[in-house]
Chains A and B, each alone.
Chain A
Amino acid sequence: MYRLLSFLTVLLSSLSLSLADTIIITGSDTLGAKLVPLLSEAYLAENENAQNSTTFEISAEGSNTGIAAVIDGTTSIGLSSTRASQTELLKAQSQGVELAHIPVAQDAIAVIVNKNNPIENLSLRVVESIFTGDIKNWAALSNYSGRISAYSRNTSSGTYRAFQSLALRKRNFASKVLKMASNEQIVAEVEKNPYGIGYVGLAYINSPSIKVVSIDGFSPADGNAYSLNRPLYYLIDKNRPLPESTNQFIGFTLSPRGQKIVSSVNFIPIH
């Protein structure tokens, strides 16, 4: 009897699962690591009838994967911290997909150095020279001399792409730049290395052993005057009708409640 009951419950639960709406979300780790899970929890908490019928599947492996997944049609919402490139737009077009970028939050990229570094301000050009390897020693900039160790995210990251187009004028990173798998790792390395420099999202700058450098005189808190600013996007396929639940979730993200959560994880709300 007991066995039969358990069998039935398993059957029922699998049935209800297959009935449920699944919102698949893939892409940027800047968005997907903290913000989107929080948003999805809040969304479920707010909509009682969604609780039983909607489930979320979130994977955050980098913006490239998000854009590719929307083009392939394997995800409901793609997350990206950069706009799709021309090549990606072309690929989408040839498969009949029309990408729509929905900005959901603003993020600023902070350039960080070790707290022992006397430098307070860098020009954007100098940041470019450091990360492209044109300047290899701090002595070229100030009276602080030592070989620069530059830390970057790895190539799938949207932050990497955004930084490349915002700060490096799309030039390539120097071969000596060390590639780290996450924002936290960059912070950890710069904490230890007195000659280190790195770039991270605003959510990661709270360590006491690092210092945020202002760019051309503006700090990340100065909003649009700061040059390393970028919007974060949800990507959808315009040519495919969205399921009701996905639509509602996007609406929730853009609502005042959703934007409050956005600012709670150190991003700048879009309104």
Chain B
Amino acid sequence: MNYFRISALGSLMILSVILVYIIAEGFKFVHLYRIDQISARQSGTEFIEVVETQRNDFLNLKQKLDSIRANWLSLNQSNIKESLEAMHLSGFDKYYKAAQSIDLALIDFIVSEKNLALKRTVKIDTQLSTEKTITLLTENALNIEKNSFLANKNSNKELILKKLQNKLRESQQDPNNAFLNQLLLEKIPKNTPLLDFEKEYLIQFIQLEIQSLEQDLIYLRESDIPYNKINFQKRYYRANLSFKGLLESQKMIEIDPAYMPPKIAKKFLNFQKHLLKYQYELPKYSATIEGISLNKNISFLDVIISIVTGKDWYISPEGRSQFELGPYIFGSFLVSIVALFIAAPIGIFSAIYVSRFSSEKERGRLKQFFDFSSTIPTVLIGFFGLRILGDLIVDISNWPIISSIPGFPLYEHLNIFTASCLLALMMVPTIYYVSEIGLRRLPKTIEDASLALGASDIQTIQKIFLPTAFPSFLTAIIVGYSRAIGETMIVLLCLGNSVNLPSLSENPPFIFQTTQTITGLIAQEMGEAPKDSLHLHALMSAACFLLIITIALNILARFTDENHSRSLRK
């Protein structure tokens, strides 16, 4: 008896420790990320972000021009030379080149500003770490005076030893100090008590180190920290002036629409309208820059919102990394919803078939099959997708019937659809089991009553069977869904892993684009995140988020299930 209780309690405790640990880590990340964001704000990244939006808005326009050119080329594929000739004659070529150089003007400015910001971040970091070393050294000097340096476990002996070693290497010529250095290097690791003059020497040594560090600090503080807004605005004004000039000179280029195919000419006119609007709205960017205040506080809620809804996740070892989970959360939900649309009908219909029509023998077979398919390791399924299914889908999309649909044929064999098909394969057994159990719970009497009143088989299913069984289908769907959202191997192998929000406006259709899920993110990056880095904490917070989603789904499933059984008992 006791043994059973202990093992049950033990597993419960381990599970709750894991839960608490992950949630605590999630909150720790929010705290650390907030500090990081505040320091980024102080090093002026927000100004650069505004210029980046200005540039991205232009880039979107320029990409319209790209697609006009692509369209033009594809209109007359047999005679590309003719199209090129027309581009040249109509002035489109010149216009296009001008757009390219306008784009470069701003990007050069952004890159140089980013390098400046990076230098500033390094300066701030250096300042912080120098301050930290100074406090450590001061503590050590105090400990030596109080004779507690060797006895105290917390004192930072390593640091002192390494500093001494450095000194020893540098000062080979000074025999007196070198000897003392050597002596100390041997004595400290062994915890041999120090003589008075040795102590004095050590304290002096530490104080000299502190002095030189403080010199560095003074130099650091004098340079361009904190950020100088006025200087930035001057630089921006200059860059913006040349940007505007280029835009104006682009307008001057003569365009002769007569040489354009009518479809292209219409698109081009449309583009020009957009460009005019953009040009008209240009002052809004400098107004935004004017409005930014470096000392505005960032609250915890702001940070959480930016983590959940932001769409940038990149790790740059030099400079600032951005950790925003938006695309991953969206990807997780999207992939499993597409999978659900495939799996739910199959699972539910087989459950209805088995509970209503099949023979006992058939039911056994089907059960065996589902049992078997739910034991296939998911990495095998993923491998199948990577090597076979993905290529198959690309091949099918090259069939003449399908490739004539806009957006097709496909070229990337790793996409949402491939992953969803395989995820569905895993969800079907779960959905089948849960809904079959639900169906078996329905009292036979309701059905009998319906049949006795003269309803046909189909009518009974439609009017009686399905409505009463609906809640159990719902439970099945939720349980299956929470299984899919936590699945890792398949999405890691078959999804293409790009930090991408699938969009409706782009080719190919969104379910054939690539994305990545939370689970895939964690699996891919956990091994590479250095110990104690912000990156590792960010992954922990992603895990925390995943945990919250699955717990919520579980509670929801339990709730619908209980509601249903209560209503059945009535």
Chain A interface (Cβ within 8 Å of chain B)?
61-62, 64-65, 68, 72, 85-88, 90, 93-98, 125, 134-137, 139-140, 143, 145-147, 149, 154-156, 161, 164-165, 169-173, 175-181, 192-196, 239
Closest-by-CB residue of A relative to B165 is A239
Q: Given contact pairs A143-B84, A193-B411, enumerate 5 new A-B contacts (beta carbons under 8 Å).
A: A86-B318, A139-B66, A143-B73, A172-B314, A176-B500
Whether the pair B125, A90 counts as a contact (CB closer than 8 A) is: yes
Determine the distance from Cα of A255 to Cα of B556 in the docked complex, in whole angstroms. 67
CB pair B111 A169 closer than 8 Å: yes
Q: Is the CB of B528 within 8 A of A65?
A: yes
Name which of B126-134, B334-342, B557-565 contacts chain A.
Answer: B126-134
In the complex, identify which listed stretch (B267-275, B296-304, B480-488, B491-499) lies at the interface while the others stay far away: B491-499
Q: Is the CB of B70 within 8 A of A145?
A: yes
Closest to A148 in B: B411
Q: Is the CB of A193 within 8 A of B412?
A: yes
Given contacts A140-B69, A170-B114, A176-B498, contact A90 B126 (CB under 8 A): yes
Smallest CB separation, A102 vs chain B (Å) = 18
* B159 sits at the interface (CB 8 A): yes
A86-B122, A149-B411 known; A64 and B528 CB under 8 Å? yes
Residues of chain A within 8 A of B161, CB atoms compared: 96
Which A-B residue pairs are the 3 nearest by beta carbons?
Answer: A156-B528, A96-B162, A139-B70
* Bound-complex Cα distance A9 to B69 (A): 76
User: How many chain-B residues does the 8 Å CB contact rule pick out?
Assistant: 60
**A178, B122: Cβ atoms under 8 Å?**
no
| Given A86-B318, A164-B316, A134:B500 Cβ within 8 A | no
CA distance A61 to B527 in the complex (A): 8
B80 within 8 A of A: yes
Interchain nearest-CB distance for A161 vs B (Å): 6
A154 touches B528 (CB 8 A): yes
Q: Bits for B465-509, please: 1 = Cβ < 8 Å to A, else 0.
A: 000000000000000000000000000000011111100000100
Q: In the complex the two chains form, is B411's CB within 8 Å of A178's CB? A: no
Asked whether B360 is an interface residue with its Cβ less than 8 Å from the other chain, the reply is no
| B411–A196 CB distance below 8 A | yes
Task: Report yes or no: B528 in contact with A155, Cβ–Cβ below 8 A.
Answer: yes
CB-defined contacts of A170 to chain B, threshold 8 Å = 111, 114-115, 118, 316, 318-319
B104 touching A125 by the CB < 8 A rule?
yes
What's the Cα separation between A105 and B62 when bound, in Å?
Answer: 42
Q: Knowing A169-B111, A171-B111, A178-B497 touch, does A155 contact B315 (C-beta < 8 A)? A: yes
B262 on interface, CB distance cutoff 8 Å? no
Judge if B443 is at the interface, Cβ distance under 8 Å: no
- Are A239 and B166 CB-contacts (below 8 A) given A136-B63, A179-B497? yes
Complex: A172 Cα to B315 Cα, angstroms: 9
Q: Nearest Cβ in chain A — how far from B473, in angstroms?
A: 37
- Chain B residue at minimum C-beta to C-beta distance from A181: B524
Name the A residues within 8 Å of B527 (CB-CB). Answer: 61, 65, 156
Q: Please name 29 pairs of A and B residues whose Cβ atoms are closer than 8 Å in the assembled complex, sorted by A.
A: A64-B317, A64-B528, A65-B528, A87-B318, A94-B133, A96-B158, A134-B59, A137-B67, A137-B69, A139-B73, A145-B73, A145-B74, A154-B497, A155-B528, A156-B527, A156-B528, A165-B318, A170-B319, A172-B314, A173-B314, A175-B500, A177-B498, A178-B412, A178-B414, A178-B514, A179-B498, A192-B413, A193-B412, A239-B166
Within 8 A of A (CB), among B125-163: 125-126, 129, 132-133, 158-159, 161-163
Select which of A161, A173, A179 is within 8 A of B317 by beta carbon: A161
Majority DSSP secondary structure for residues of B touching A: helix
Which chain B residues in 152-197 approach chain A with CB under 8 Å? 158-159, 161-163, 165-166
Closest chain B CB from A187 CB (angstroms): 15
Residues of B within 8 A of A173 (CB): 314
Instruction: Give the residues in chain B near A149, CB-CB below 8 Å.
Output: 411-412
Q: Say whether B103 faces chain A, with CB atoms less than 8 Å apart.
A: yes
Q: In the complex, are the beta carbons of A154 and B498 less than 8 A apart? A: no
Complex Cα–Cα for A149 and B70 (A)? 16
Q: Which residues of A contact B361 (CB under 8 A)?
A: none
With A and B bound together, what is the CA distance between A247 and B391 in angstroms?
49
A175 lies within 8 A of B499 (CB): yes
On chain A, the residues within 8 Å of B166 by CB distance are 98, 239
Given A64-B528, A88-B317, residue A139 in contact with residue B497 (CB < 8 A) = no
Check B327 for interface membership: any CB of A closer than 8 A. yes
Whether B66 pairs with A178 at a CB distance below 8 angstroms is no
Q: A169 vs B109: C-alpha distance in the bound complex, in angstroms? A: 12
B315's nearest neighbour on chain A, judged by CB, is A155
The distance in angstroms between the C-alpha atoms of A87 and B129, with both chains bound, is: 11
Is B525 on the interface with A (CB-CB < 8 A)?
yes
Q: How far is the CB of A36 from the nearest CB of chain B, in Å? A: 18
Task: Report the bound CA distance from A156 to B413 in whole Å.
Answer: 24
Residues of A within 8 A of B531 (CB): 68, 72
Kindly state whether residue B530 has any CB partner on chain A within 8 Å: yes
Determine whether the beta carbon of B496 is less than 8 Å from that of A147: no
B530, A147: Cβ atoms closer than 8 Å = no
Contacts of B73 in A (CB 8 A): 139, 143, 145
Min C-beta distance of A178 to chain B, whole Å: 5
Interface check B34, CB cutoff 8 A? no
Q: How far is the CA of A68 from the CA of B536 in the complex (A)?
A: 13
Task: Please tell me which one of the listed residues B103, B312, B412, B524 contacts residue A134 in the complex, with CB atoms under 8 A apart.
Answer: B103
B162 neighbours in A (Cβ, 8 Å): 96-97, 239
Closest to A128 in B: B107
Interface-centre pick from B115, B317, B391, B528 (highest chain A CB count, 10 A)? B317
Output the nearest chain B residue to A155 by Cβ-Cβ distance.
B315
B311 within 8 A of A: yes
- Distance A155 CA – B319 CA, assembled complex (angstroms): 14
Shortest Cβ distance from residue A54 to the other chain B in the assembled complex, whole angstroms = 26
CA A114 to CA B411, docked complex, whole Å: 12
Known contacts A170-B319, A178-B414, A179-B498; A87/B80 CB under 8 A: no
Write out the residue numbers on chain A whose beta carbons fall within 8 Å of the beta carbon of B528. 61-62, 64-65, 154-156
**B498 — which chain A residues lie within 8 A by C-beta?**
175-179
The answer to whether A137 touches B497, judged by C-beta atoms less than 8 angstroms apart, is: no
